Structure 1
């Protein structure tokens, strides 16, 4: 080091330069002490301290701020694109400075020479590894078989200066290229671009798929033919070594991504698996499958912990469901966040599992637990919005789990149909509210309000909720004097089992409009209830008539003697209106009939509607058939 310093007097003149050399020497010496000579270590220190050519140059020194403070030289940061040494530099070939084509004598001589500069034991082990047939094959496979000595030396040197440049090399033997790429992974640090690293991993994985033992055997034996070592004849020896080599590649990639921040690591894994499988559609290279298997083992603990958090939130949501949707929503919010975080970590495993044609069990189980909550919230508590939200969450984050994706798609379709039906029902309800709402002022001088709305029907302080009304009647009576019409009085009555409100008015438009509203809001229900009562076997009395589901009992009036009750099936009777009454009579006997007043008989209009509707139904035998 002293000799090198004396070559550059500027180092002694500028006090800010030597500290930089000291810092670099500590770093470089620790990494290269056993595998490089002292001169190589010193040269590397100068190159790193004074880039690009390692020659120190005079620098402008900032003036002192005061006599009490001195300026401290800044120490250049370590470049992320340079390496001190790599796994290839630890190879027996690199340590001894020999090639795959050097013979046994050259290897022994080189070991003796290097022992003067490097650790003696390291050199002797390297010599043994290269001259012993049992260990030489492993060393050859870990080096650059098939590459010319000059090219190999150049590649290893470039690997230190610009590791990522090796990715642009072409025409190299597959094994040699893979060994260089594996060494280049050592340059990856926590600031490496995630997209670029994912692409780098994919490049290595695809290249590993092209690696064949036959090609490696050929390259090694070609070099051995020159070096004089016996050829390798058993292909299974190559295969065994390549299996170990692929484990090394996986380890090199793992070490590289483990230097990344956690979220960057997850992103790199996800982009890598997504890229090689086309979103889980294609089989991944074996190296990626191995990498994912290792990733799954390492993330098992955190995934299990997050799954437990999801389960706690599911339980909390169930426990609070009885208190209403506002009580459940905060837990669903938290569940959404935790599940998404879980999915980010599990995404590479899900994609890999899908590509292999299997379901990721942990994802499947967690998805079913969330789905169970979604089903319970809807079925037991009618929380459609929260159920749809959870179903959408499952669809989004478990799309790579085929069994779940298919099942939840059905759930989503069903919930969408229910939502649409409710939306339509809500629209119909709104329309119904508009259709039945009405109010009018009745009277000339002293006016009273007649109103109808979803809250009920009101008249002169009496209010009847719509579902409490059990009877309605209405009609009009025309008046005249000496044959000259003087107007019509309209009557509308409605009530429950205990009381009744009666409205009398003169305006036909108010009368007609109100009856239309009353029919929509009350009479349709009364008609349905009447048909249901008949279906249950109950008889309904209207004046002298008694209505059954399958017919009606009418009175046969006699001039002499008592009247007779005659039961007729519906096909034996006909109906008509006369003198303000709804009339029903037998087709074959005019004496058998009944007249029910519209204006005085409760629900006469309802009965008429039921019978006339029944007559329009071909083959009708029972009025309750209208319910079908």
Structure 2
């Protein structure tokens, strides 16, 4: 799973985000007594909560505004696989950073359709200044030093990336991941949307590469000889369109062509021109042109 609250040291050592260093030390010692064979891993968790940089990274991936009692309710709902209870707790007075962390975890455990919109909305509402205020309020209670806005902004880069990967991984586990991610991105723009598009691009790259290689080989054959299975090419181009839809959408929002889709469009367009001009196969050229209109309609150049 790409993002898990259960892996956070605050969860593993069962300490509140408001706990002072002495309480964290006690929790570490208790955990070693219960799990002596995990002492090395537990020591790293203690250090992750007491050393400045890793502490901030874990605070920002936890539930900083949520009381210990409610945090335990959230973890219990996640552990038991209770999607509706998780959704109820998510809707109940959580700050954007806590809501985003819960939703990112839930995307990997439950239906992505149930939590993806909430994850997108939480990131849209997220304010770096407000996160800094939340973290510093907690630190005033825990006795750790205050952090500033640039530190929070830097830490959020990694969080956005992990949440985006969680969303894409969950979407890829069901049918039509391209259409699902494209729907989430449509009409939205921001740092998190860019991270989602990047994460999706990494997931889609091997599949697109395979389709591109096979389709270009067929198109080159059609262009040279005028012979080939237009419908087979059309099927591959439609599959390309389904997978690349989020990438085309993000580029189109900026008035740009998605580079790999543009190259494939040009190759197919050249084949259609060759069918008409070089081989006199006007019906085949028309059939391929109709497919191009359908598949590459969101490319500005097309």
Whether TM exceeds 0.5 here: the answer is: yes
User: Secondary structure at the residue paired with 1:401?
Assistant: coil
Mapped pair 1:178 → 2:178: no
CA–CA separation in structure 2 for the residues paired with 1:318 and 1:229: 68
The whole-number CA distance in structure 2 between the counterparts of 1:89 and 1:299 is 28
Match of 1:156 in 2: 75
Aligned pairs for 1:527-566 within 5 A: none
> What's 1:143 paired with?
62
User: Which of residues 210, 213, 238 in structure 2 aligns to 1:305?
Assistant: 210
Deviations 1:133-153 (A, max 9, x none): 343222221221011121111
**Aligned counterpart in structure 2 of residue 226 of structure 1, from 141, 147, 172:** 141
Q: Which of these residues, 275, 278, 290, is aligned with residue 195 of structure 2?
A: 290
Equivalent of 1:167 in 75, 83, 87: 87
| Preserved CA contact (<8 Å) 2:5 2:105 | yes
Q: How does 1:156-555 map to 2 (within 5 A)?
A: 156-162=75-81, 164-165=83-84, 166-168=86-88, 169-170=90-91, 171-188=93-110, 197-198=112-113, 200-232=115-147, 234-258=148-172, 260=173, 264=175, 267-277=176-186, 282-321=187-226, 328=227, 331-404=229-302
Instruction: State the distance in 1 between where 2:245 and 2:52 align.
Output: 46
Asked whether the equivalents of residues 359 and 403 of structure 1 are also in contact (C-alpha less than 8 Å), the reply is yes
> Partner of 2:46 in structure 1?
127
> What are structure 1's unaligned runs of at least 5 residues?
1-82, 189-195, 322-327, 405-628
Give distance in 1, aligned partners of 2:231 and 2:284.
Answer: 10
The structure-2 alpha-carbon separation of the partners of 1:342 and 1:254, relative to structure 1 and needing over 3 Å to count, comes to closer
Unaligned runs of 5+ in 2: none
Q: Which residue of 2 aligns with 1:28?
A: none
Structure 2 CA distance for partners of 1:365 and 1:224, relative to 1, 3 Å = closer
DSSP-derived class of the 2:256 partner: coil
Are the counterparts in 2 of residues 182 and 252 from structure 1 also a CA contact under 8 Å?
A: yes
Q: What whole-Å deviation, never above 9, does each CA across 1:558-587 have from its counterpart, x for those lacking one?
A: xxxxxxxxxxxxxxxxxxxxxxxxxxxxxx
Richer in helix (by share): 2
2:8 corresponds in structure 1 to: 91
Is 2:185–2:246's contact at 8 Å kept on the other side of the alignment?
no
Cα distance, 1:378–1:181 mapped onto 2, change above 3 Å? same
More relative contact order, 1 or 2 (CA 8 Å, 6+ apart): 2
Aligned pair count reads 296
- 1:339 to 1:131, Cα distance in 2 relative to 1, 3 A: closer
CA deviation digits over 1:481-514, x for unaligned, max 9? Answer: xxxxxxxxxxxxxxxxxxxxxxxxxxxxxxxxxx
Decide whether the 8 Å contact of 2:66 with 2:98 is kept in 1: yes
Q: Using a 3 Å threshold, how does the CA distance of structure 1 residues 402 and 100 change in structure 2: closer, same or farther?
A: same
Distance in structure 1 (CA, Å) of the matches to 2:271 and 2:52: 65
Name the CA distance, whole Å, in 1 between partners of 2:203 and 2:108. 21
Shift of 1:395: 0.5
| TM-score of the two chains, using structure 2 as the length reference | 0.86
Query: Structure 1 residue 237: deviation in Å?
Result: 1.2
Distance 1:284 1:217 in 2: 23
Partner Cα separation in structure 2 for residue 96 and residue 301 of structure 1: 39
Match 2:17 to one of 100, 106, 120:
100
Distance (whole Å) between structure 2 residues aligned to residue 134 and residue 309 of structure 1: 47
Q: Any conservation in 1 of the 2:208–2:243 contact (CA below 8 Å)?
A: yes
Output the TM-score relative to the length of structure 1: 0.44
> Is this contact kept in 1: 2:5–2:102, CA < 8 A?
yes
Give the 3 Å change call, closer, same or farther, for CA 349–159 of structure 1 in structure 2. Answer: same
In structure 2, the residue matched to 1:514 is: none
Shift in Å, 1:381 = 4.1
Contact (CA 8 Å) 1:97, 1:110: kept in 2 or not? yes
Question: Given the superposition, is the C-alpha separation of residues 276 and 231 from structure 1 closer, same or farther in structure 2, using an over 3 Å criterion?
Answer: same
Structure 1's 340 and 228: CA in aligned 2 closer, same or farther, altered over 3 A? Answer: closer
* Alpha-carbon shift at residue 371 of structure 1 (Å): 2.1
Give how far 1:216 is off: 1.2
**Paired residues of 1:198 and 1:272 also in contact (CA < 8 A):** no
109-118 or 144-153, larger mean C-alpha shift = 109-118
